[in-house]
Amino acid sequence: MQLRGSPFRSYFAEVGRDEVLLDDLAPPSSEQRVRVPFGSDVDEAQVCDVRVEVRYPRFGVDKEGSMRLIVNDGGDFKQPVRVEVCRNEGGTCDRIHDMLPAGHSTRCATKYVNRVLVALFTEDNRVEPKPTKFAFPAACVCYVRTYYYPSKV
pLDDT less than 70: residues of the chain:
1-43, 149-153
Give the pLDDT of residue 88: 94
Which region, left, alpha or beta, applies to residue 23 given φ > 0 means left and ψ of -120 to 50 means alpha? alpha
SS (H, E, C) 43-95: CCCCCCCEEEEEECCCEEEECCCCEEEECCCCCCCCCCEEEEEECCCCCCCHH
Termini Cα distance of the chain: 75
Between 3.40.50.720, 3.30.230.80, 2.10.90.10, 3.30.360.10, what CATH number should domain 9-26+46-146 receive?
Answer: 2.10.90.10
Give the pLDDT of residue 97: 84
**Gap between the Cα atoms of 82 and 21, Å rounded:** 9
Q: 125 by DSSP, 3-state: which?
A: coil
Give the pLDDT of residue 91: 95
**Gap between the Cα atoms of 135 and 20, Å rounded:** 20
| Per-residue pLDDT tens over the stretch 29-48 | 444 445 555 555 566 778 89
Q: Could you tell me the residue ranges of all domains in the chain? A: 9-26+46-146
Burial of residue 49 (number of CB atoms within 10 Å: 0-12, 13-18, 19+): middle
Give the pLDDT of residue 35: 53
Identify the H or E element spanning 139. Answer: strand 126-146
Give the pLDDT of residue 126: 86
Give the pLDDT of residue 39: 58
Give the pLDDT of residue 15: 43
The CA dihedral of 20, 23, 29, 34, to the nearest 10 degrees, is 130
Give the pLDDT of residue 16: 46
* Entry pTM: 0.69
